[in-house]
Amino acid sequence: MKLKAVLFDLDGVLYQGERAVPGAAEAVAWFRERGIPHLFLTNTTSRPRSALVEKLARMGIRVSEEDLFTPPVAARQWLERRRCRSIALFVPGATRKEFEGLDLAGDEEQTAGAVVLGDLGEGWDFATLNRAFRLLMADEKAPLVALGLTRYWKAEDGLRLDVGPFVKALEYATGKEAVVLGKPASPFFQAALERLGAGAGDTLMIGDDIRGDVEAAQRAGLRAALVRTGKFRPADLELGVEPDALLDSVADLPGWWAAHAG
């Protein structure tokens, strides 16, 4: 295998809950010190990148904000590379910051160059969803850009719909297929590769999710390592997905890389 770059999953690989996986800080430092291109991929959009950087720092893991690759970061890059103008945002307030400086559509505009959908939560009502729908119908070339396809999440008071169901509603209503910038969709991995300037075949994804990390990365042409931490269960190995590497934890990645990546 000839590998040049790494994509790290966060939750379950570098930490579990509020505790670092032993050896994670050293593993990340190993790649940083050698100048091996890498990014940290996460679908989390509920808090700003700075909060994630602080959380990791509290656990002794040094990561810079620029190396955190989230759906909004990927979407911004995707929109910039296609020179999209008059972009209509349907994302929560904290996520809007990630799109500062782009050419954004005003609330009253009847057309848009692109429609970006995030987890608006309580912000969704009929008028808001219908506005996104009309903008997509007003210009058949306007893409529907989705910050992931997560179905729901568990809030304190019970389950809550995430962005995915609203993306599916608009896909069905408009007949358009969304560009999904979040795991496990291939465009998210491709955007990360563009950012690194790396080829798919030269890049390793390391994750704890046999479907969302390993299978998804391999579908996008990447190599993928599975760790036995986080949500890993032995039964994951019987699903017909063959990781390129199987490691006890991210702590073993530098040793594996030294032996196999050349």
Residues forming contacts to a copy of itself in the complex (CB under 8 A) are: 120-127, 129-130, 133-134, 137, 151-152, 158-161, 164-166, 168-173
| Residue 37 burial (C-beta neighbours within 10 Å; 0-12, 13-18, 19+) | middle
Give the phi and the psi of residue 158 in degrees, each rounded to 5. 135, -175
Of 101 and 158, CB closest to a copy of itself? 158
What's the closest the beta carbon of residue 137 comes to a copy of itself, in angstroms? 6
Task: Tell which residue, 36, 72, 45, has the closest CA to residue 10.
Answer: 45
Helix (H) / strand (E) element for 226: namely strand 223-227
What's the closest the beta carbon of residue 160 comes to a copy of itself, in angstroms? 6
- Could you tell me how far CA 73 lies from the centroid of its own chain? 9
What's the closest the beta carbon of residue 173 comes to a copy of itself, in angstroms? 4
Task: Tell which residue, 108, 109, 75, 69, has the closest CA to residue 91.
Answer: 75
Of 169 and 241, CB closest to a copy of itself? 169
Distances (CA, A) of 70 to 40, 43, 117: 8, 6, 14
Of 68 and 132, CB closest to a copy of itself? 132
Distances (CA, A) of 34 to 110, 135, 194: 50, 47, 21
What's the closest the beta carbon of residue 248 comes to a copy of itself, in angstroms? 33
Of 137 and 200, CB closest to a copy of itself? 137
What's the closest the beta carbon of residue 168 comes to a copy of itself, in angstroms? 4
Of 176 and 260, CB closest to a copy of itself? 176
CA separation for the pair 254, 117 (Å, rounded): 37
